[in-house]
């Protein structure tokens, strides 16, 4: 459900030597982190994602640059632009999501609630929508 999606602001320790942000699983974000992956060197105009997860929860951060996250719970759609490293987007399970409009040199870090499993993917939008 899109109502469970939320932007979560992370601690930001400002310092003349440079800023520092951090997060801890089950604390700043509502799940235990089992996996991290990142998307980078995205050619202009390319779209990543385009799937939903049956059980996986994710937290998406723009560590560098900016990109848009398009979400669709089968009924409603919403777009978020991520462009700062001190907040991120919590995306629960059963939400169709795409990442697009990547700026040059952008870096997307995704923290996930479980290990990689192809069985957990909906890769066909119609199958996802029927399940909703
Ligand atoms: P995929 O999730 O389809 O990428 P996108 O976000 O663009 O939809 O993953 C692309 C490929 O990488 C796919 O073959 C599965 C593999 N992969 C892993 O092996 N482990 C992972 O943690 C992830 C996220 C992907």
Per-residue pLDDT tens over the stretch 107-129: 999 999 999 999 999 999 999 99
SS3 state at 7: strand
- Given a contact cutoff of 8 angstroms between Cβ atoms, the answer to whether 32 and 26 are in contact is yes
What is the reported pLDDT for 1?
86
- pLDDT tens per residue, range 46-81: 999 999 999 999 999 999 999 999 999 999 999 999
> What would the mean pLDDT of 11-19 be, rounded to a whole number?
98
| Ligand 1 nearest atom to the CA of residue 35, by list position | 22
Mutate to test the pocket of ligand 1, among 33, 34, 36, 37 (most ligand atoms within 8 A of CB): 37
CA 74/CA 16 separation, integer angstroms: 46
**Quick one: which of 58, 39, 35, 53 has its CA closest to 100?**
39
**Quick one: which of 19, 33, 17, 71 has its CA closest to 49?**
71
> What would the mean pLDDT of 36-43 be, rounded to a whole number?
98
Cβ partners under 8 Å of residue 58, min gap 6: 90, 91, 110, 111, 112, 113
pTM as predicted: 0.96
| Ligand 1 nearest atom to the CA of residue 116, by list position | 22
């Amino acid at each position: 459900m899109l109502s469970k999606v939320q932007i979560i602001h992370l601690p930001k320790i400002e310092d003349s030597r440079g800023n520092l942000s951090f997060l801890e699983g089950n604390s700043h974000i509502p799940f235990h982190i089992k996996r991290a992956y990142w998307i980078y060197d995205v050619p202009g105009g390319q779209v990543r994602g385009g799937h939903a997860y049956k059980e996986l929860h994710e937290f998406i951060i723009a560590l560098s640059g900016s990109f848009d996250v398009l979400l669709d719970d089968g009924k409603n759609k919403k777009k978020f632009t991520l462009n700062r490293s001190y907040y991120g987007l919590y995306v629960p399970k059963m939400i169709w999501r795409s990442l697009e409009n990547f700026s040059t040199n952008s870096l997307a870090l995704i923290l996930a609630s479980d290990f990689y499993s192809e069985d957990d993917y909906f890769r066909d939008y119609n199958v996802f929508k029927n399940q909703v």
